[in-house]
Structure 1
Amino acid sequence: MLNSFCTRYKCATKPINHRCKISGWLFWSPISWLATEMISGGLTFRLFPGEVLVIGSNLPIIAAPGDDVILPCHLEPMFDVQDLTVEWSKPDLKPDPSDEYVHLYRHGKEVPDMKMASYFRRTELFMDDMTHGNISLKILNVSEEDNGRYRCFIPKLRSRVKAAVVELVVDPNFAKTSTTEMPLQTPDPQDTTPTNGGGGLITPAAALGFFILLILGGAGGC
């Protein structure tokens, strides 16, 4: 089971031990293959067969103001979380007992009582996918005030990896770099000749005709 688990995550297997990195976690197993040691932040503990991981995103989610975004988070291996509590919060904010959560799911539905006011009617989970372990959060109409880290936490999950953190960056300049704009059509300088007067343009053909008339007029005067 452990061997297939790490094969799925493209682990490099060695005769004595093997290492596997999953979303920032480093796994190591002795020859017995009965358990896996997890190292994170200098702490080491064992991940036994049957435990599941809460996995977020190592990369920040970047969006423009007004976009709808999805903060990815899921359980691996696949695990039905419909009957569990799912908490989304902002760990860098001081919690307010009256509005502690960005989104709180409990007993099969959202609980808005402790929801932060700025996220009212702006968040949702993918209810149909929760049986497959998908606990990603969708946030509607994001603004720069939504910037920061978001923590997804399942308090009653039978695992010591119950949480993951996803960072959201709302950049006002993101739309300009990600949207292709049609350039303004300007005349080619080689095809136009500016006049000395009222700002009009004289085409090369008109300039040539005027020059010929000038020569003919001068010749007639002689």
Structure 2
Amino acid sequence: MEDCCRDSLLIHLPSLLLLLQLPAGGSAGECLPSPSLLLGGDITLPCRVSPAMDVENMELRWFRSKFSEAVFIYQNQREQREEQLAQYRGRTSLVKDFLTQGDAAVLIHNVQAFDNGLYTCFFRMGIFYEEANVELKVAGVGSAPQVHITGPEEDGVRVVCIASGWFPKPQVQWRALSGEKFLTFSETQAQDSEGLFTIETTLVVRDSSSGNVTCSVLNPILGQEKAMTIFIPEPFFPQSSPWKLAFMVILTVLMLLLLGAVFYIMREHTAKLQETQEWKKLHREKEEDQWIKEEALKARGKAGQDWRKEKFQALSVSLDPESAHSSLAISDDKTSVTFKDSPKDTGDETYSVLGHEDITSGCCYWEVEIRNAEEKSEWALGVCRRGVERKGWYQECPGKGFWVVGVYDKKVFSLPDNSELLVPVPHRVGVFLDLKEGDVSFYNMTDGSHIFSFPLAPSSETLFPYFRLREGDVSLTICSGDICDQEGTVGGRKRQGREAEKKKHFMHHLT
């Protein structure tokens, strides 16, 4: 740039030292000599043009190591946030009091350790520009060191010192009671999410006459130091056989206790695993027996007739509009439910309606057809007790008085544990309620396959058919007797070919 341009727009930025004291526990400490600042306080980065002039119409940019890493941008007489780094959004502001006098300082709020480093102030007006640098040094004093003995080490005693919450990386030193420094020790360091350092250093003390040892941690910028002293009794050193014997005995006992605990946990885990496997085996055998019985009964029944209808009485179900959620629309014949408008699933509402018929005894069934099911459609159906809580969001589980299955994300689940059932998504579901045996079962009425069964505890409470929607344009329609018989007959013809091949196998089990 030409000399005249530099003379007219020259920036003077003094070096800046920011001092933070970080006391143990992360709370703010006392201010250090000026300039000083508590953790989470504010700091002003000065920037001035010389000679003084009005900079309201200039472009001002504060950035870190790269021009694109913007801390603050002032352009067209307002703050620009499009290029601003995420960690500075909401934490920076322009000091506008002296813009007409050439002073364009930027205030950084809630200063953190990662704010440490070099900043560049950049001015531009037309084709002329200038920049200058300022270094921000952040310093913090963390917790006092914690020193403890961890055990014998070769021919000495191992002592560990830990200090956290320091910035920048502190200097660690071990000293004996005489003031002599230990030169040989190990050290590890780590930084937390806020950039503060945790230091762990290990010293092996071999001289039993040392008595006290001191671990000191020093902030290299502030010159502040925190220290802790620990006394090492002479019997702790390896040459003292009584201490060594006691330590070995204690260590052996601890190891035996640990091994015993591990053995107990493994035995309990093995027992639970065996119990789970036995339960799964019994459950699988029960399902296989039920499937064989179902297929055998279907083979013996009339062609196209659902075998379950021989035992269960068809229940004529109608929807109760007074029990419906305000977002649901009930058809005039009270057999179909859908949404009035497509709702947005916020997760805090459950849209349900009950059947008008109460069920207190016997065996009955009804069929429900699922229409307009889309990929994101969610629905559930089953039975519930009289007087269950159905306001807002509620849990559909047997403990709360609900026995339901449903579809979500094109998968079938049993509620409430959301266990995925590896069965096809049904388009017509039969709900078979047996209050004599204490069972409610769900079947795919298109192919006659079993979906899921719940055991029902003996109870004198009244049950009601239950229907629930959550998302999509899906509708649930209760089939009338004629419609279901017709659709069942069609399904029966489609299955006759497959069932003929299985018939011999099923009849064999009956005999």
User: What TM-score, normalized to structure 2?
Assistant: 0.23
Picking from 45, 69, 87, the partner of 2:61 is 87
What is the CA deviation profile of residues 122-173 of structure 1, one whole-angstrom value per residue up to 9, with x for unaligned ones? 111111211111111110010110011111101226756x111111111113
SS at match of 1:82: coil
Say whether residues 1:107 and 2:42 are aligned partners.
Answer: no
CA distance in structure 2 between the aligned counterparts of 1:140 and 1:52, rounded to whole angstroms: 28
Q: CA deviation at 1:50?
A: 6.3
Match for residue 171 of structure 1?
139
Q: Which amino acid aligns with 2:64?
A: K
Q: Which amino acid aligns with 1:170?
A: V
SS at match of 2:120: strand
Match for residue 77 of structure 1?
51
Say whether residues 1:66 and 2:40 are aligned partners.
Answer: yes
CA distance in structure 1 between the aligned counterparts of 2:109 and 2:5, rounded to whole angstroms: 38
Q: CA deviation at 1:72?
A: 1.0
Distance 1:47 1:120, change over 3 A: same
Question: Structure 2 unaligned runs (5+)?
Answer: 21-38, 142-166, 168-221, 224-511
Greater relative CO (CA pairs within 8 A, separation 6+): 1
Aligned length: 129
CA distance in structure 1 between the aligned counterparts of 2:83 and 2:11, rounded to whole angstroms: 23
Q: Which amino acid aligns with 2:17?
A: I
What is the CA deviation profile of residues 161-218 of structure 1, one whole-angstrom value per residue up to 9, with x for unaligned ones? x1111111111139xx69xxxxxxxxxxxxxxxxxxxxxxxxxxxxxxxxxxxxxxxx
Distance 1:154 1:45, change over 3 A: closer
Distance 1:84 1:141, change over 3 A: same
CA distance in structure 2 between the aligned counterparts of 1:119 and 1:125, rounded to whole angstroms: 13
Picking from 98, 108, 113, the partner of 1:139 is 108
SS at match of 1:170: strand
Match for residue 192 of structure 1?
none
Match for residue 46 of structure 1?
3
Q: Is the 8 A contact 1:62 1:171 kept in 2?
A: yes
Say whether residues 1:122 and 2:91 are aligned partners.
Answer: yes
Q: Is the 8 A contact 1:53 1:159 kept in 2?
A: no
Bigger CA drift: 44-53 or 79-88? 44-53
CA distance in structure 1 between the aligned counterparts of 2:74 and 2:108, rounded to whole angstroms: 15
* Identical aligned residues as a percent: 29
Q: Is the 8 A contact 1:63 1:171 kept in 2?
A: yes
Q: Is the 8 A contact 1:51 1:158 kept in 2?
A: no
Match for residue 213 of structure 1?
none
Match for residue 151 of structure 1?
120
Question: Structure 1 unaligned runs (5+)?
Answer: 1-43, 179-222
Tell me which structure has the larger Cα radius of gyration: 2
Q: Is the 8 A contact 1:153 1:163 kept in 2?
A: yes
Q: Which amino acid aligns with 1:151?
A: T
Q: Which structure: greater strand fraction? A: 2
Q: CA deviation at 1:82?
A: 0.3
Q: Is the 8 A contact 1:148 1:167 kept in 2?
A: yes
Q: CA deviation at 1:79?
A: 0.9
Bigger CA drift: 117-126 or 64-73? 64-73
CA distance in structure 2 between the aligned counterparts of 1:129 and 1:87, rounded to whole angstroms: 17
Q: Which amino acid aligns with 1:85?
A: E
SS at match of 1:102: strand
Show structure 1 runs of 4+ deviating over 2 A.
44-50, 155-160
Distance 1:76 1:94, change over 3 A: closer
User: What TM-score, normalized to structure 1?
Assistant: 0.51
Q: CA deviation at 1:47?
A: 4.3
Q: Which amino acid aligns with 1:87?
A: R
Distance 1:124 1:80, change over 3 A: same
